[in-house]
Chain A
Amino acid sequence: MTAMIEASALRKRYRKMSALDGLDLIAERGQVTAVLGPNGAGKTTFVRAVATLLHLDGGTLRVAGHDVRREPQAVRRQIGLAGQFAAIEPAMSGRENLEMVARLFGQGRRTARASAQTVLDQIGLGEAADRLARTYSGGMRRRLDLGASLVGAPRLLLLDEPTTGLDPRSRSELWDAIRELVENGTDVLLTTQYLDEADHLASQIVIIDHGRAVAQGTPAELKRRVGGNVIEVHARSRHHLAEVADAIAGLSRTRPEIDAATRRVTIGVSSTGDELTSALRSIEAAGVPIDDIALRQPTLDEVFLALTGQPMTDQDSDRERVGVAA
């Protein structure tokens, strides 16, 4: 069976900057693929290319078996797009918004009404359906945007940074909605800056940097390459940093990293759960005073450092303002 998305050597330039610089990516059917990277890495550009919203300068891109250049309308019939900017009409009700999109997919009046109702229930906006969208909260608007991408029963859902800017509760509500979609068999391509989002939702993560894919794997595989989770210790003073590092060095094969500016020592550990207690014991035994200790997921920075050998740069500042987010 052909993959849902087959991208090979994609290139896209905006004036002097390369937004996509030889991107290769395969997103298989039946799964959620997350494209993870910092601002400016090319995530939004990639999603826009898949959604047939821009012309590629080079490479080949097939979506659901159709070439985006040669059969764009065929691609558009299969996809649903939801982005950072909730592209819904504030002066229409939630229901009217969804019915409108359904009609644009060629559905007749009654079918459109039924599709809209189903989606409203799916995204939990059944009660607010007949209020104007401009009365909705930010989280509700995002859900409506998600609904608008679903109402045409797409085979592939394209979510561009779906939870950026949302409060934690709206975020987890949206995650729940997305997870249910996946259970119902919709393929999803998701872009995000947040490793925890990719970890929660995706079965396959592609890390992109400067318009190119630098790593691909399951969340577990990628975290293993970083060394799994991270133990972070806040030393009480700069003088204690070296001692802390020595105390916890034995926990894992990777070396502890010292950040003098923030007085932190971090070390990657495998995810078995005993490390926190062992770390605390070693530090106590060494008699080093500490302010705080925590076990946490690696940040995107740490993943980047481990995988590319270089710290992650905010690629937006590298770019001229060409009017496109990446």
Chain B
Amino acid sequence: MATIATQPAARSAGLTSSTLTITRRAALRYLRTPQLVVMATLQMSLFFLIYRYMFGGAIDVGGVAYVDYLVPGFVATGVLFSGIGAAVAMADDLQQGFVDRLRSLPIPRSSVLAARAIADTAILTLASAVTVAIAFAVGFRLHGSVREGLAAFGLVIVFGFAFEWLFITMGLFAGNSQTAQGMGMIVFPLAFISSAYVPVDSMPSWLQIVASHQPLTYMVDAVRSLTLGSQSEALLGHPASYYVVRSLVWAGAILIVSVPLAVARYRRG
């Protein structure tokens, strides 16, 4: 019986190599679990079509086709909903001992969390691209330039990345997948009490107070201001830069709070 051949010269992997290796595992896990991918896509498409065709005719957004109003909101909130999956995956890894194995390996400590963030961001980019494709298929059109459209998509990814860290932290603190799922329910008020699906001023005044000041409203309107082109300022009330700047500040704030929390929690064991 042969023992493991010669002792390998390097006894540990560097940051880049280990991060890539672990990212690959997270990506494979997602891609090879068809239920996850198919169910998520089906659900998302179904709700999208419901909003677009069922509710669209009844919601007045003032001069713009509802589908053009809806898509930025839908894609942005889609990012949140896929974040629940990230929190659950993180909690699951913790519960199942996978994180233990990784922690017992001579790899840099940051590679595990970095890999999680990269993999989840890649997954949400893929999901968002699919949503956008479906959107175009049912009549969504860019009113601004193509460059602005790409910038809008880029913004969605940036917001997604920021929220991912929030969800990673959630997963680490939850400790098991059911609790993580429960904590993930915060996505619902965040998504609905915002300008994602309907204009804020159509809500009762007590909800407007919440909706107009929460991060998602700024993020959705930032994306919208880029996809609606010249119409946006009239519709939303402020130029694109107003929303883009504020939404990026929010994204930064979320990162500044979540990342240290996640790292501290991970190290504590």
27 contacts between A and B (CB under 8 A): A48-B100, A53-B103, A73-B12, A77-B11, A84-B97, A85-B96, A87-B97, A87-B98, A88-B98, A89-B28, A89-B98, A91-B33, A92-B32, A96-B28, A100-B25, A103-B17, A104-B21, A104-B107, A111-B5, A111-B8, A115-B4, A115-B8, A121-B2, A148-B101, A150-B4, A152-B11, A184-B1
**Interface of chain B residues 108 through 141 with chain A (CB within 8 A):** none
CB proximity of B38 to chain A, nearest CB, Å: 15
Return chain B residues, CB-CB under 8 Å to A73.
12, 106
Q: Considering the chains assembled together, what is the distance between the CA atoms of A73 and B17 in angstroms?
A: 17
Identify the closest chain A residue to B33 (Cβ).
A91
Q: Considering the chains assembled together, what is the distance between the CA atoms of A184 and B98 in angstroms?
A: 27
Q: Which 4 residue pairs spanning A and B have beta carbons closest together?
A: A106-B10, A87-B97, A85-B97, A76-B106
Question: Assuming A52-B103, A55-B268, what are 16 further A-B pairs, CB within 8 angstroms?
Answer: A48-B269, A51-B103, A54-B269, A76-B12, A76-B106, A77-B12, A81-B101, A87-B100, A87-B101, A96-B28, A105-B10, A106-B11, A111-B8, A115-B4, A115-B5, A122-B1
Contact partner of A132 (CB less than 8 A), chosen from B12, B32, B268, is B32
Q: Considering the chains assembled together, what is the distance between the CA atoms of A83 and B103 in angstroms?
A: 13
Q: Which B residues are within 8 Å of any A CB, using their own CB?
A: 1-5, 7-8, 10-14, 17-18, 21-22, 24-25, 28-29, 32-33, 96-98, 100-107, 175, 268-269
Q: Considering the chains assembled together, what is the distance between the CA atoms of A152 and B7 in angstroms?
A: 9
Return chain B residues, CB-CB under 8 Å to A86.
97
- Residue A107 at the B interface, CB < 8 A? yes
The answer on a CB contact under 8 Å between B25 and A89 is yes
| Given known contacts A105-B8, A105-B11, A153-B7, A89 and B106 CB-to-CB distance under 8 angstroms | no
Q: Considering the chains assembled together, what is the distance between the CA atoms of A87 and B105 in angstroms?
A: 13
Q: How many residues of A contact B (CB 8 A)?
A: 45
CB proximity of A153 to chain B, nearest CB, Å: 4
| Given known contacts A54-B269, A104-B13, A106-B10, A91 and B32 CB-to-CB distance under 8 angstroms | yes
Q: Considering the chains assembled together, what is the distance between the CA atoms of A73 and B7 in angstroms?
A: 17
The answer on a CB contact under 8 Å between A83 and B97 is yes
Contact partner of B104 (CB less than 8 A), chosen from A79, A92, A151, is A79
- Residue A287 at the B interface, CB < 8 A? no
- Residue A168 at the B interface, CB < 8 A? no
The answer on a CB contact under 8 Å between A106 and B100 is no
Return chain B residues, CB-CB under 8 Å to A51.
100, 103-104
**Interface of chain A residues 165 through 194 with chain B (CB within 8 A):** 180, 184-185
Q: Mark A108-124, 1 if CB is under 8 A from B, else 0.
A: 00010011001101100
CB proximity of B112 to chain A, nearest CB, Å: 10
Report the tally of A-B residue pairs with Cβ distances under 8 A: 115
Q: Considering the chains assembled together, what is the distance between the CA atoms of A83 and B100 in angstroms?
A: 9
The answer on a CB contact under 8 Å between A106 and B29 is no
Contact partner of A101 (CB less than 8 A), chosen from B14, B105, B269, is B105
Return chain A residues, CB-CB under 8 Å to B5.
111, 114-115, 118
Query: Majority SS of interface residues in chain B?
Result: loop
CB proximity of A137 to chain B, nearest CB, Å: 17
CB proximity of B24 to chain A, nearest CB, Å: 8
CB proximity of B157 to chain A, nearest CB, Å: 25
Q: Considering the chains assembled together, what is the distance between the CA atoms of A79 and B103 in angstroms?
A: 12
Return chain A residues, CB-CB under 8 Å to B2.
118, 121
Q: Which A residues are within 8 Å of any B CB, using their own CB?
A: 48, 51-55, 73, 76-77, 79, 81, 83-89, 91-92, 96, 100-101, 103-107, 111, 114-115, 118-119, 121-122, 132, 148, 150-153, 180, 184-185, 323
Return chain B residues, CB-CB under 8 Å to A91.
28-29, 32-33
The answer on a CB contact under 8 Å between B32 and A52 is no
Q: Considering the chains assembled together, what is the distance between the CA atoms of A54 and B22 in angstroms?
A: 22
| Given known contacts A73-B12, A83-B97, A89-B98, A103 and B21 CB-to-CB distance under 8 angstroms | yes
Return chain B residues, CB-CB under 8 Å to A115.
4-5, 8
CB proximity of A226 to chain B, nearest CB, Å: 34
CB proximity of B114 to chain A, nearest CB, Å: 14
Contact partner of B96 (CB less than 8 A), chosen from A87, A101, A103, A114, is A87
Return chain B residues, CB-CB under 8 Å to A180.
1
Q: Considering the chains assembled together, what is the distance between the CA atoms of A89 and B22 in angstroms?
A: 11
Q: Considering the chains assembled together, what is the distance between the CA atoms of A148 and B25 in angstroms?
A: 15
Identify the closest chain A residue to B3 (Cβ).
A184
Return chain B residues, CB-CB under 8 Å to A132.
32
CB proximity of A102 to chain B, nearest CB, Å: 8
Q: Considering the chains assembled together, what is the distance between the CA atoms of A269 and B127 in angstroms?
A: 69
Q: Considering the chains assembled together, what is the distance between the CA atoms of A84 and B100 in angstroms?
A: 12
Q: Considering the chains assembled together, what is the distance between the CA atoms of A107 and B105 in angstroms?
A: 13
The answer on a CB contact under 8 Å between B10 and A76 is no
Return chain B residues, CB-CB under 8 Å to A101.
101, 105
The answer on a CB contact under 8 Å between A153 and B8 is yes
Q: Considering the chains assembled together, what is the distance between the CA atoms of A103 and B18 in angstroms?
A: 8
Identify the closest chain A residue to B14 (Cβ).
A106
Return chain B residues, CB-CB under 8 Å to A87.
96-98, 100-101
